[in-house]
Structure 1
Amino acid sequence: MSSLKKLTTPSGIISALAIDQRGALRRMLGEDASQESLENFKSLVSENLTAHASSILLDPEFGLPAAAKRDENCGLLMAYEKTGYDSTVAGRLPNLIANQSVKRLKEAGADAVKLLIYVDVDEDKAINDCKQAFVERVGSECVAEDLPFFLEIITYDAAISDKREYAKIKPHKVIEAMKLYADPRYHVSVLKVEVPVDMNFVEGFGDDYVYTKEEAAAFYKEQAKISNLPFVFLSAGVSAQMFHDTLNFAKASGSTFNGVLCGRATWAGAAKAYKEAGSDKAAEWLQTIGKSNIIELAKLVEELATPIK
């Protein structure tokens, strides 16, 4: 398998910027946002922030112009999945971008490929079997093209929508999903995962909690022992401060996470500026607040994360 060095800092930590959002970004910029607007916004983020990131995660649908504007020392991850899922069909089944393949993403300059799947380990076996075969196929493609395979896992429960109720079972969902897809048959190079608890429901982080700090810390330790695969945390749309607090808590709890793939916590304010005042204001936000966000995060991650050997 190809090396991860193009995607890490010199010390071996992944400090990556994620802006492969498509549907979510269109909602942030306005439902009537054009393809040109999405491409322009991604380019602004890439141009202004990638000097401070080890790599950037983009999509081939709106992100190719942004890929061309990234810093010369910044590696490139490319998303392979279609955005979202068909809510009329059970299982949140994954699908791939119709006109893409790992070979084509490599030809477009990708140093690694990322696939997102939604996982409920307790859902119907037939549904999970489909997802497992799907990941196997993508893993085999990545092996054939000698590209690292990043698997992003977003967990859920098919029967629970209440956030507090889900928080009670989230550690089980996250940890068991990681355990499943760490199996060598999937050829995953790096797991991109949620933290094992909803920090809004941890003692001291929210008004209403379902875990004490000690209980939450134990889940971070358990997650870190699941496999020998490198794993990075996604920011899940939380604020920059909450993400920083979460990473500090993770480290103090004994987590050996290998970095982050952080999106909206870094650049969300620029999307608001772009929608309300245009690209110049968005660029101004990125050059000030956005730059500060990513520099602070990169410094923190360098201090807290475990280098990939």
Structure 2
Amino acid sequence: MKLTPGKLAGLKAVSDARGVVAAAAMDQRGSLQKSLAKERGGIVTHEDLGRFKTLVTDVLTRHASAILLDPEFGLEAAKNRNSAGLLLAYEKTGYDAATPGRLPDLLDVWSVRRLKEAGADCIKILLYYTPFEKTAVNDLKHAWIERIGDECIAHDIPFFLEFVGYDAEGGDEKSLAYAKKKPSIVSGSMAEFGKERYNVDVLKVEVPIEMSYVAGTRSFKGEAAYTRAEALQHFRDAETMTHKPFIYLSAGVSNPTFIETLELAAESGTKFNGVLCGRATWKEGIPIFAKHGEKAFLDWLETVGVENIGNVNEALKAASPWYLKYGVNSLAELG
């Protein structure tokens, strides 16, 4: 693998001094608007979304290597990122529920060129994916990712691909049955999108287990899908599926659960390269912003929010620099 100057510059911009991606995520749109509206018991405007994102960005980027934002409501927030790197989302929020297969779509008035012009150091795409979906559906998704990869090559900017698994048979993703399927879904997705044809630079992946189903953990809820030893092996097995740098997403779990997840990854010896962590740092502040306003939310962010991201950064001491995946021992060797 060889990095072009633009891709190298982009990866450096979103990494810390160690070469680890210690990034915050604030690109939620539809789900965030629904959560705020539910807590407020009323309408949440686009301006509200923008203010929420700006406050989170301003506080958390003092403790993060980068921030992931969306160009729809997050560009004002991007101005308040304290010199942290910037990843911009390129996909529309959610998916078309009326069409089988959770098919993705791109933002209408954006392109990689335009996102780069807006200040993006890296491009991020979210894709709902399972290797066990119908071939015709996955063929559409594969071609879609190939096009985006080529677009990122044309504009010499890193491509971060986030894939979120689901049950192709329509089962509940929070169930024991899905927890048993998850390791193969995550590993299979990492194997697929690590292929050179997609030109993905960093895989943003789910952990290959569901913590609440891991016996012998603090997060265990009483129903086991795997022993602790089996869970550790699932981390190791997933790592073997790709030679690409990969980072973990927090997938909406609580801060304590995400920290324990990273501890398990460390215990397994997995050489992960960082995180893009969103809701595990700021989710608990949603009702505060919705019910008590910006000042109360800012106070919460500067205390609990900072503590949350501090916990993540402490756990990230176990992460490995992404440049090791390129066969070098320092960033300087890459140019």
In which range does the TM-score fall when normalised by the shorter chain?
over 0.9
1:150-195 alpha-carbon deviations (Å, 9 max, x no partner): 0000011121423111111110111001100100110000000100
Q: Report the equivalent of 1:69.
A: 80
Cα deviation for residue 146 of structure 1 reads: 0.6
Q: 2:312 & 2:126 partners in 1: Cα distance?
A: 23
Q: 2:120 & 2:242 partners in 1: Cα distance?
A: 26
Q: Report the equivalent of 2:311.
A: 296
Q: 1:119 & 1:38 partners in 2: Cα distance?
A: 27
Q: 1:272 & 1:242 partners in 2: Cα distance?
A: 20
Q: 1:216 & 1:160 partners in 2: Cα distance?
A: 24
Whichever residue aligns with residue 43 of structure 1, its letter is T
Whichever residue aligns with residue 307 of structure 1, its letter is P
2:191 pairs with 1:184? no
Summarize the alignment of residues 113-192 of structure 1 with structure 2, pairs less than 5 Å apart.
113-162=123-172, 163-192=175-204
Cα deviation for residue 299 of structure 1 reads: 2.4
Gaps of at least 5 residues in structure 2 are: 324-335
2:31 pairs with 1:21? no
Summarize the alignment of residues 228-247 of structure 1 with structure 2, pairs less than 5 Å apart.
228-247=243-262
TM-score (norm 1): 0.98
Q: Report the equivalent of 2:328.
A: none
Whichever residue aligns with residue 33 of structure 2, its letter is R
What's the Cα RMSD here? Answer: 0.9
Q: 1:230 & 1:202 partners in 2: Cα distance?
A: 26
1:30 match: secondary structure: helix
Q: 2:139 & 2:29 partners in 1: Cα distance?
A: 27
TM-score (norm 2): 0.90
Q: Is the 8 A contact 1:160 1:166 kept in 2?
A: no
Q: 1:68 & 1:277 partners in 2: Cα distance?
A: 25
Cα deviation for residue 296 of structure 1 reads: 2.2
1:76-120 alpha-carbon deviations (Å, 9 max, x no partner): 000000000111111100100000000000000000000000012
Whichever residue aligns with residue 99 of structure 1, its letter is V
2:223 pairs with 1:216? no
2:216 pairs with 1:204? yes
Q: Report the equivalent of 1:305.
A: 319
2:29 pairs with 1:7? no
1:146 match: secondary structure: coil
Could you tell me the percent identity over the aligned residues? Answer: 47
Q: Is the 8 A contact 1:17 1:57 kept in 2?
A: yes
Q: Report the equivalent of 2:332.
A: none
Q: Report the equivalent of 2:51.
A: 40
Q: Where has structure 1 moved over 2 Å in runs of 4 or more?
A: none
Q: 1:281 & 1:179 partners in 2: Cα distance?
A: 44
2:105 corresponds, among 92, 95, 98, to 95
Aligned pairs, number: 307
Cα deviation for residue 149 of structure 1 reads: 0.1
Q: 1:289 & 1:174 partners in 2: Cα distance?
A: 31
1:46-82 alpha-carbon deviations (Å, 9 max, x no partner): 111101000000000000000011111x000000000
Q: 2:154 & 2:141 partners in 1: Cα distance?
A: 20
